[in-house]
Structure 1
Amino acid sequence: MRKLVWGAVGAAVLVGAGVAVVSVATADSGGHYRVAVATVGDVSQTVSVSGTVDRVNRADISFGTAGVLSTLSAGVGDTVSAGQELGAVDTSALQAAVDKASSDVDRAESTLSAAESAVEEPADDSSPVGSLVGQVKDAQSAASAALKAASDAVAGQSAACADPAAPACTAAGAAAMTAQQTVKSAQEALQAKLDALSSALAAESSREQAAPSAGSVADAQASVDQAKVKLVEAQQALAGARLVSPISGTVASVSAAVGDRVAANTAVVVVVGEGAVDLSATVAVEKLADLAVGQSASVTPVGTSERIAGKVTRVGTVPDPAADTVAYPVTVTIDEPPASLAAGSSATASVVVATAKDVLTVPASAVNRGSVTVLTGDQTTVTRVTTGAVGPTRVEVKEGLKAGDQVVLANLDAPLPTSDGNSRGSGGFIGGGPESGPAGGGPGGNVRIRPGG
């Protein structure tokens, strides 16, 4: 503790809100200090992020199918409406594919209809097989009877021809010959019936094999389904030959010309609409926990002093692979952007991560390693403080001070540090050095303090 003696010019001179310069003298020598008064106010702690602006209402329009660009009616700066056609690729081959697919569907449906009708027709019960079986049996009986008659005739011939010259032998021989002819005829008739039965059985088998079944109907239905899928694909490819804007807005870029071959799903025209813009930025991992969706932000376009209200709408949980260091993506949305926030421009956002209202505050430069120097009468005392929210210029003090306390910002007689480590002139600050920072709990810990009040 140092005891101070007020000098002849010790009257306080107000420099700013709660800031004064007083001249004091110790018993040994004179001294001058810049001091500030601890006052009640609001403090907002912020995190600064920078990035690129882009429209939320933006459409990167591409063809759904590859082809040669045949028409293009969009130019940079043109105003377009939602649903407006901007270009097309050649459709001759695409239309031919649709026509073929449509014909394939018709054929498949015709095959299905025939299969369903055949399955529903009743079976034909008037088969000739049953009748032929009866005829074969009759022919077999006739042949058997003819064989027996022939056998009897041969036996009679043998008996009658004991005397070959007898007239009875001649008659018996003629009867045997007739009986044998009857056997031959009966056997030929039987064979004819057997052949007819065999043909009828083969025809019956062929009809059974060719008859439609539930399985054949299912196969025909599958063919119809496949043909319809190919038709839809062909129709989609034809529809993809048109370049249509899904939004109303202004054409921002065109990347192809008539005659160029364009790939599917590759942007040819970019249209930006009215409304909100997004500032896409990244934040270091040590600041990630401070950010949350819904926090307010003040956005400043690069090269201006304009401050535009925004809000955090996205905080990434996976590091940005394009960042040079470990950083996480953050999106700040501006609902009513001015012209200065054009798509592709750069901007900085100051995101409010903590707010303290009606709290005791001191200038940030008064805090040095969790302590402040308090001027009471003619004495200075180094006092430990507990800090809370840390704003760009003022720090919340939760414990250690009371409203009205004067804190020393700088000893105006102390030598100023130089870049080479030597001292030059006077006016050294109490706080705000590179190693300075409030401590004692709260979000103010480890925050670099800038010199000045």
Structure 2
Amino acid sequence: MGGLNTSSTTTVASAETIVADRADIAAAEAQLAIARKQTTLTTLTAPFAGTVAAVAIVAGDAVSAASNTAVITILGNDGYVVNSTVSLSRIASLTVGQTAKIELATTGTALTGVVSSIGILNVSTSSTPKYAVTLAVDTTDATILTGASAHVTVAIESTDAVLTVPTSAVHRDGSAYTVDVLAAGASTSTTVTVGAVGTELTEIDSGLAAGDVVILADLDDAIPGTAADTSSSLTDLGGSSGGSSADFQGGPPSGDFSGFSGGTPPQG
């Protein structure tokens, strides 16, 4: 009776096979890490609380970082801002913290706010540089529609207890300013020093006193040398020492601070 012989064969992997297997394992581990990372992105979390107003993406869309089209719009609960642009010639007049009056174009609602940020990069698509300005709207119970336009007036300068005259009463000749004052029934040209200047009122730093009477043009009078009812042109209208007079008043200059601008009195 003979014995049972058994045998086995062992195959040794080559170095090339081992390297390939290790590469496959590394690739599989990388895919697993990506899959685990993607599971954390399945929930989108906004950096602030609010109400979702619009969703511009659907399942399966491919999106890129900082996309301007694949977005989710959320209305925050902490208030509203007004975004605008200001030209290079006026941007120097603005500083963060300046107060502003805001009027909604759609409803005429009057609001208040402050300049909250001023951009330093040119955002204009034309040859005229413009810079982004953001204004924070003060808390209000008024209904504000997102995306609505608004008219903004920023107070770029303010002074308490100042003397003002109508800007139309101030005459400028180069760097010199004068105002016609009514004294003893006669007109006297008085040199003045001006402060803040607006389209309606001009601040007078020196040269006048409260109670002085300044002379204004009477636009109802006929233009000298023409019939009152034959011409509506203002091209020949010049300065005059006559006309109506107005008591010199005190108070802060309202000026034209609209649209972040100031102004200068007319020459004459």
TM bucket by the smaller chain? 0.5 to 0.7
Worse overlay, 263-272 or 369-378: 263-272
User: Does residue 1:250 correspond to 2:57, yes or no?
Assistant: no
Matches for 1:283-298 after TM superposition, within 5 Å: 283-298=86-101
Q: 1:228 to 1:396 in 2, by over 3 A?
A: farther
Following TM superposition, by how much is the alpha carbon of 1:319 offset from its aligned partner in structure 2, in angstroms? 1.7
Identify if the C-alpha distance between structure 1 residues 334 and 421 changes in structure 2 by more than 3 Å, giving closer, same or farther: same
Alpha-carbon shift at residue 343 of structure 1 (Å): 1.4
Deviation at 1:299, TM superposition (A): 0.8
Closer, same or farther: CA 271–295 of 1 in aligned 2, 3 Å: same
1:48-447 counterparts in 2 under 5 A?
231-257=32-58, 260-265=60-65, 266=67, 267-322=70-125, 325-369=128-172, 370-391=177-198, 393-411=200-218, 412-415=220-223, 418-419=232-233, 421=235, 446-447=263-264
Cα distance, 1:268 vs structure 2: 4.0
User: Is the alpha carbon distance of 1:446 and 1:336 closer, same or farther for their aligned partners in structure 2, counting shifts above 3 Å?
Assistant: closer
RMSD: 3.6
Aligned residues of 1:275 and 1:335 also touching (Cα < 8 A): no
Q: CA deviation at 1:245?
A: 4.5
Runs of 5+ unmatched residues, structure 2 = 1-21, 246-254, 256-260
The secondary structure found in structure 2 opposite 1:316 is: strand
How far off is 1:355 after superposition? 0.7
1:217-256 residue CA offsets vs partner (Å, 9 max, x unmatched): xxx9xxx999877654432223223344454322221223
Cα deviation 1:354-409 (Å, max 9, x = unaligned): 11111111122222322211111210112221111224532210011111111112
Counterpart code for 1:377: A
Conserved 8 A contact 2:163-2:203: yes
Q: Secondary structure, in 3 states, of the residue corresponding to 1:345?
A: coil
The residue that corresponds to 2:15 in the other structure is none
- Report percent identity of matched pairs: 33
Q: Quick one: distance in 2 between partners of 1:225 and 1:356? A: 73
The alignment partner of 2:36 has SS state of helix
Amino acid corresponding to residue 63 of structure 2 in structure 1? A
| Structure 1 letter corresponding to 2:235 | G
Displacement after TM superposition at 1:276 (Å): 2.0
Q: Encode CA deviations 1:44-97: one digit per residue, 9 max, x unaligned.
A: xxxxxxxxxxxxxxxxxxxxxxxxxxxxxxxxxxxxxxxxxxxxxxxxxxxxxx
- Structure number with the bigger relative contact order (C-alpha 8 A, sep ≥ 6) is 1
Aligned length: 213
Q: Which runs of 5+ in 1 are unaligned?
A: 1-219, 431-437, 439-443
Alpha-carbon separation, structure 2, partners of 1:403 and 1:382? 17
Higher-Rg structure is 1
Tell whether the 8 Å contact from 1:372 to 1:384 is kept in structure 2 after alignment: yes
The question of whether the paired residues in 2 share the 8 Å contact of 1:301 and 1:340 is answered with no
1:245–1:332 distance in 2 versus 1, CA, 3 Å: closer
Distance (whole Å) between structure 2 residues aligned to residue 429 and residue 285 of structure 1 = 40
